[in-house]
Structure 1
Amino acid sequence: MTDPLSGSFGRESVTATERERRIRSLFQAVAGRYDLMNDIMSMGIHRLWKHSMAGAVAARSGQTIIDLAGGTGDIARLLAPSGARVVVCDPSTAMMAVGMGRCPASVEFVEGSAEAMPFADDSAHALTIAFGLRNTTSLHAALAEIHRVLKPGGRFWCLEFSRPWAIIRPGYDAWSRFAIPRLGAWVAGEPAAYDYLVESIRRFPAQGELAAAMRDAGFTEVEWRNYSGGIACLHQGTKA
């Protein structure tokens, strides 16, 4: 199966190594205003989606939960009060520096990529990723690595932009194509970064395609829940 994310950066074809370097540079540049941009771009709705995701995870004391690509700590802060061991794993030290200043001391931060996490096999009860899977160099490699670190019976939760309903798609496409890069220039001073982020959303698999990729990676009980007419979607699966 062709990997929809491998080797692309915007509309330019690049090697996986170069794509990873550029993505790290992008998040280095926008780290300080990343959450503010998310608030503006989504009119704050991304926080409701994340609260819903954290509620679905239902973390509890004694569990180990990895929040992958969780740099600024939005998900970790919601999971930490459960008493679970929450570990943020992110390739961007700049993003994690922001998260460390916002999360309780119990939250751990570890540098690592989705394709090569520094964790043992079968080591996590759950793994979450919010708006980070589309920034991997290879979707299939990332899913395989997520499957590896989960314990048997462990749950994977992915919150990501997806394919909106047809009735709202034209308006959403216009907003993302024209408004978001301009907002990126205004708030974060990085229009090129937000050109890439918009393009990464367009290239990301639709709901059914991502579900199929999860099954191919070995996940069972795969299902999804649309948010805001499919603008975002929460996928989940179990390591058998």
Structure 2
Amino acid sequence: MSDQPHPETSDKPAGTTHFGYRQVPVDEKAKRVADVFHSVAGKYDLMNDLMSMGIHRLWKRFTIELSGVRKGHRVLDIAGGTGDLTKRFSELVGDTGEVVLADINDSMLKVGRSRLIDEGYAGNIEYVQADAEHLPFPDSSFNVVSIAFGLRNVTDKDQALREMTRVLKPGGKLLVLEFSKPTIPMLSRAYDLYSFTALPMMGKLFAGDSESYKYLAESIRMHPDQETLKQMMGDAGLVNCKYHNMTGGIVALHAGVKP
């Protein structure tokens, strides 16, 4: 399972892209991904805690620490979903800053908006339904752009990275938190077994949807590895690109700066 080829380095029929391990027409992938997240939106937070045994909170905390966000900053949280990062960014930027929670999926955006409003976060947060490949913001708009566990679902990752770079201010930072490739062979085998047996089973039991969680496991395997994504960020125009492996490389946080 972990030997599946990366889409960036493997041959595929013209006009198609990967949806998990399947090839689908390019113009169909966004709808298929949307259907997955419409299905899981209501149970997304619960499933995150179950699937990661709560460790996703530590991964996100490190992302916040590395962001360097401070009062007065303007932050874009792409694929922000239910708002974990947006909530903390909102606290950091204060009354003089702004956080834009953007997600292509309206179901996820509604869940995130309701959750944050219910928890008292309102004044400095804007909610925008947006496609990462075509961001509806002017050039040089944000001090920090983050995307957590969303890039692997984007059809054209290179285009999305160029767009994120475009909307960053000079000196601004892009943070990409995403599942990656385990660096320890024994861990990789155990992770495969967990992903392709436990995840769909938990999806069926707790969210009534095993197929969406099978897709999520497959999409992780088709995502570029650490070095490939680092190179892609450099090709998008970022400098000082680096990554930090967490939990044995199961997750990596990539960072780059707009010159």
Q: Which residue of 2 aligns with 1:197?
A: 216
Find 1:227's aligned residue among 238, 246, 250.
246
Residue 106 (structure 2) pairs with residue 93 (structure 1):
yes
> In the alignment, which residue of structure 2 is the partner of 1:207?
226
CA contact (8 A) 2:182 2:248 kept: yes
2:51 matches 1:41 = yes
Structure 1 residue 4: Cα displacement: 6.4
Q: Is the 8 A contact 1:127 1:146 kept in 2?
A: yes
**TM-score normalised by structure 2 residue count:** 0.89
- Gaps of at least 5 residues in structure 1 are none
Larger Rg: 2
The correspondence of residues 76-91 of structure 1 with structure 2, limited to 5 A, is: 76-82=86-92, 83=94, 84-91=97-104
Query: Deviation of residue 197 (structure 1)?
Result: 0.5
Are 1:8 and 2:18 counterparts? Answer: yes
Paired residues of 2:8 and 2:224 also in contact (CA < 8 A): no
Q: Which shifted more, 62-71 or 164-173?
A: 164-173
Task: Give the residue type in structure 1 aligned to 2:258.
Answer: K
* 2:3 match: none
Aligned pair partner of 1:149 in 156, 162, 167: 167
Task: Give 1:217's match in structure 2, choosing from 231, 236, 240.
Answer: 236
Among 95, 98, 102, the residue aligned to 2:115: 102
How many residues are paired up? 240
1:24 partner SS: helix
| Residue from 139, 149, 164 that aligns with 2:182 | 164
Q: Which runs of 4+ in 1 moved over 6 A?
A: none
- Residue 122 (str. 1) matches residue 132 (str. 2): no
Q: Which runs of 5+ in 2 are unaligned?
A: 1-6, 11-15
Q: TM-score, normalised by structure 1?
A: 0.96
Q: Which moved more, 1:13-22 or 1:128-137?
A: 13-22
What is the alpha-carbon distance in structure 1 between the residues aligned to residue 107 and residue 229 of structure 2? 29
**Counterpart residue number, 2:78:** 68
In structure 1, C-alpha distance between the alignment counterparts of 2:68 and 2:239, rounded to whole Å: 19
Q: Indicate if the aligned counterparts of 2:21 and 2:222 stay in contact, CA closer than 8 A.
A: no
Deviations 1:128-183 (A, max 9, x none): 01100001011111111111111111100011001112231111111011111111
Q: Secondary structure at 1:14's aligned position in 2?
A: strand
Q: CA deviation at 1:50?
A: 0.5
CA-based RMSD of the aligned residues comes to 1.6
